[in-house]
Chains A and B, each alone.
Chain A
Amino acid sequence: MNFFYFASPSTFYRLAGILAPWCFAVAAILGAAGLYVGLVQAPTDAQQGEVYRVIFIHVPAAWMSMFLYFVMACYGAMSLTFNTRLAAMMARALAPTGAMFTFVALWTGAFWGRPTWGAYWVWDARLTSELVLLFLYFGFIALGNAFEDPRRGDRAAALLALIGVVNLPIIYFSVLWWNTLHQGSSVSFKGTSMHVSMLTGMLLMAFAFWSYSIGTALARVRTIILERERRTRWVRAL
């Protein structure tokens, strides 16, 4: 079978329709497991008490916010270089979910920061660059919708996503480069500084969010395909 078989919107529409419910189901199962491990099994933290449990959504959401931007920029680069319609539609479909996770990361960070740092918001490098990421997502969505011709919006937004990619290493390394309030990563490959059940809960939640993101992106790309291809014969025949 040809690799590019699924690159045509009509075949991808059907494929996405089959895959999306499975992604949501996997996300629900992993999410339930992650919440059980995180909220019931994981012990209370010695220093922070119960409030550390925000970590089970905060860290996976922050990971997803950066990862989704990266994937979006890759689709953008693909759509610019090969001029493929589907890649541009995937980039457009990922943006709202990425913005949602960026918002969740900022929001949960605020409600975790209040009891531990004493402030909902501090102007630290990581927080600021995450806020810039949120505005990059908003800019991407707004620029994509600002033109009469959707293809024009696709390409302008893809280029913007590529320019904004510079922000990702700044967010990721901000806690290493600057001495900031935000603590460094507590997960590393050489053994972690956390309890096993905490790590399990966090990874389960991360995979749940990941699966959810694929599900929403596929569901959204189906709607985008329907709107764009509404005058074609195969859509009329649905």
Chain B
Amino acid sequence: MTDTTVDTADKATSDDADTPVHAIVERTASPWRAPLAFTAMGLALIATGLFQSPAVALTILNMSLVSAIMAMGLNLQWGYAGLFNAGVMGFTALGGATAVVISHPPVMEALGAGGRGLALSALIVVAIIATVVFIASATRGRFRSFLIFVIVIAGYIALRPIFGAAVGAVEAVDPARTGFIGGLGLPITLSWVAGGVVAAGVAWIIGKVALGLRTDYLAIATLGISEIVVSVLKNEDWLVRGVKNVTGLPRPVPYEIELQQQAWFADLVEQVYAGQLAAISDAAAREDALRQFIVEGSGHFVKIAYAGLFTVVLLILLALCVRALNSPWGRMMRAIRDNEEAAAAMGKDVTRRHLQIFILGSAIIGIAGAMMTTLDGQFTPGTYNPLRFTFLIWVMVIVGGSGNNLGAVLGGFVIWFTWVQAEPAGAWIIEQITRDMDPSAPLYQHLQDIAAPFRLFVMGFVLLLFLRFSPKGILPEKVRHS
């Protein structure tokens, strides 16, 4: 209908220069904006640490770092290329599944029972794909579609019993504890890279099929794919145990129990809490307090260690993104986003570039997915839902500032913080409302349950507010004019 391709904000803002709200946004875009916003975010986290508890603040910090990486991946696709990827959840889950496959020790018994069948199935799948590819290139017309159809059906019929038997054998092996093939038993940090690679591979297939569709269609298609990915992970128990979950994944950081027995850690805690310990006069009480601090401190230490690892990954990815997008390649991407026809006329291969950036963005989301599973120490496919894992990331990008990498990072922090804090806030509001109510009244009982969906409400409200009054986000994209 209109000539605009994908610009969310620009179109809306350029049209209403008369609205004062946008004018203010334009004027106040100072170089201090980003440092100020990040400082405010840091203060909010510190306040959480002081008023709630340091553990809560550190937990929020860790998930914020992961969310920031996810938002950065989505920002590549949406902010820089205008691709509406509504399948963030799928890539996150793929990353998580990869973490299991890489780090869980192999279940030898299951591999012995069904490994051969699974390998044979994989061989058949490869054979089918190879034949289809061959036919697709060697024949043409109606005959080709017919042949491909026949081969896929025949292959499926051949595959089904072999695969079924193998899966049955694997899942029968001690189903209460394993019942799956396990993984490779490698260090879990390796899975962060591998998660990115797997997500990139799947993104390549999806991109081949779905890119080139108009924006809303791509959104619907990716939404569907992510549902399929998650339902595969939920139901193929032989692979990652499905909804029975894999727990107790190995960690890249020390365990609390181990830390508590280390002499150096006890010394460290003693130094950190020296002031508070000195205030206790009684020797026995001091000993008790120290033990208490060691237990508490070990938890914090683990979280800080995760935060350190995640920050390193975040900074590396951020540096790469910023560099890539300030390069001629990034300029080309923005040119394609802003006017596809003109870019195509200048000889840019729009479809290929779209595929490229779709794969890169998905890979980053996959990395974040693997990191999240590492942080949780477990993989629970049942908990993946699109509101939390796709659309929340969208809110992060829009609120942070689409097209701006720092904006995406900031959005990840701000929105995750809001998401987590909205629940206690909702509970507090309910408490204020129901303070004078009779606790046995049905309305009182009912109101107690609505604190959880309160965060959905807040998220929708925040998204709509930003989309309307500050569509460029907290940190708008920097537009350079030569």
Q: Do A and B come from one complex?
A: no
- Contact residues of A with B, CB < 8 Å? none
